[in-house]
Amino acid sequence: MKVSVANAQYRTPELSHHRGNPLICALPDKIPPRRLRELLTRTPKLSDSNNLSKSDRVHQVRQMRNLVVPTTYFLEFYNAVYSIIVGGYERRNPLEPSVVSWSYDVADPEVDIEAASSNLRDQSSATTTEHLFLTGYSGMGKTLMKNIILSSVFPTVILHKSQTFADIQIVYLNVEMPHDGSRATLLRNMLKAFDDTLQGTEDTNYLEQVQPKKGRGATIGVMESMLRTLCIRYHVGVIIIDEFQNLDVASKRFYNEMLQLFDSMSNTIFVPFLKLGTSDSLLNFQGKFRHSRRVGHTIEILPYTQLASHKSSGGSSSADAPPQRSVDWEKLVNAVIEYQVVKKRIPYSTKLDQELYHLSCGLPYVLFTLWQEAQVEAIVSGKETITLALLKQVYATRFKLLRICLIALRKNNTQRFRDLFTINQLLDKGDNSSALQRLEHFANSEEFSGVAATKLVEAVDDIKSTHELDPQQKRKLRGIRQKLEQKARLTLAGQTVEHNVSDG
């Protein structure tokens, strides 16, 4: 995300205990829902298709990736993020003598950090720092939601220049979980994030300070200590860790070390964490985290429904009332259908709506990609229009790997196949190494056989033919294929998706 820097403009908060805290007073006012939707909506401008060449129109179709339709989840996420940032600053007022004393103690290696933090914690009514976990299937738009909200409504850095407080405030620090789940790599990523965020504001070299010198790098303890000091020095509002599901494929040692890191950081520096990952990564994390309350509040983005439950005037469901379209799905499908670059546009129809929902299962990534690729096919082939038959054709050819999970999703049987969403998106982003690493983990750990494994073998063959792989990646893919072929020969009764793999 692009770093934005703003000079502090102080407001007067509604709550009296927030007044006098420059870190809270400098945050932007809370934005009302209607205004927030306007700020977050992104609609690429369409040029007159009749004046464009085929290649230009294909390029314009692919601009659909910049289309943003704020749904109810966007509003819920914004409110939650605003809340945890403010909550994290409540006990870290830099003008309070106890906070100043604590910040010096944390930076002093001679002072026990647990004892220093305990003293500050005892002065607050809150027993733990709030945290947030944004979870859901890959393809629901978690990263997009995070990026668009943070970049649109919060400055990354706030510069305080008053006589009583002249300092740099980093509102959010954004990093990704390493693909191997290594604690050392994550710590280095965080230190690099400080350098990147402060570029142009302050000349720093925090990452360089921990890089190996004469064959020896900084220890984990040194990097953790530096991270704590920087979080306090720059008044970090929230640490964001995206792609949290990468921890799922980490070794047991790396996994346990990462849990220890989060536990330690949560208990000593009072900076909230925002973690983004798949539903499975949340379940694993909740089950193994030493203090489950520190997992925090969870927002799970579920596939959008086509119909909303109808309520009678008394608030109960009415079986005789006609079904109503879900507001979120209606906004998504209307925005998608409106985005047409083909010469023969088609209007909205109930059949089109139903087919798009059936094929996409309410996942924005599938909906947007399906509509985009159908238009590309219509332009390249010269048909210049979208039909239900074309949508089905593109779905069958474009989503070979994902179809297995979409079929299971329609049958509420996704437990074994959720990882395929992540793998498919990594392949789309060109991150072949990470995709194959997760596919190998999936093939080795999941219990499935028969038709399901056969379909996965076909999907693997499609990966080989449609993606540019280096020799090492090709060898890994061959090994995965052999593993799946072995499972395809087995018969495992009772697995619904294997006995019925049709898209009907």
**504 burial level (CB within 10 Å; 0-12, 13-18, 19+):** exposed
Per DSSP, helices labelled H in 140-294 are 142-153, 183-198, 206-210, 220-233, 252-268, 279-288
What is the maximal distance between C-alpha atoms in the chain?
77
CATH 3.40.50.300 assigned to 5-30+71-301: yes
What is the structure's pLDDT at 114? Answer: 65
Q: How far apart (Å, rounded) are the C-alpha atoms in residues 398 and 124?
A: 54
Distances from the Cα of 297 to the Cαs of 77, 231, 305, 335, in angstroms?
A: 11, 22, 23, 31
What is the structure's pLDDT at 311? Answer: 44
Q: What is the DSSP letter of 158?
A: E
For residue range 129-150, list pLDDT tens digits in order.
578 999 988 888 899 999 999 9
Bridge partner residues of 273 (DSSP):
239
The CB-side HSE value for 9 (13 A sphere, CA atoms) comes to 6
Q: Where are the CATH 3.40.50.300 domain residues in the chain?
A: 5-30+71-301
Full pLDDT tens readout for the chain, 504 residues = 889 999 999 999 989 889 999 999 999 999 999 999 999 999 998 888 778 899 999 999 999 999 999 999 999 999 999 999 999 899 899 999 888 887 877 776 666 666 666 656 555 545 445 789 999 888 888 999 999 999 999 999 999 999 899 999 999 999 999 888 888 899 999 999 999 999 989 999 999 998 877 667 778 888 988 998 999 999 999 999 998 888 876 777 888 888 778 877 777 788 889 999 887 776 666 655 544 445 578 899 988 988 765 443 444 444 455 556 689 999 999 999 999 999 999 999 999 999 999 999 999 999 999 999 999 999 999 999 999 999 999 998 888 888 877 887 887 766 666 777 778 878 887 888 888 888 888 787 766 666 677 778 888 888 888 888 888 999 999 998 888 888 777 644 444 344 444 555
The residue behind tokens 């469901």 is 317
What is the structure's pLDDT at 239? Answer: 94
List of residues 6+ apart from 337 with CB closer than 8 A: 346, 347, 348, 352, 371
Tell me the pTM: 0.84
Among candidates 438, 447, 436, which has minimal Cα distance to 478?
Answer: 436
What is the structure's pLDDT at 291? Answer: 47
φ/ψ (deg, to 5) at 383? -70, -30
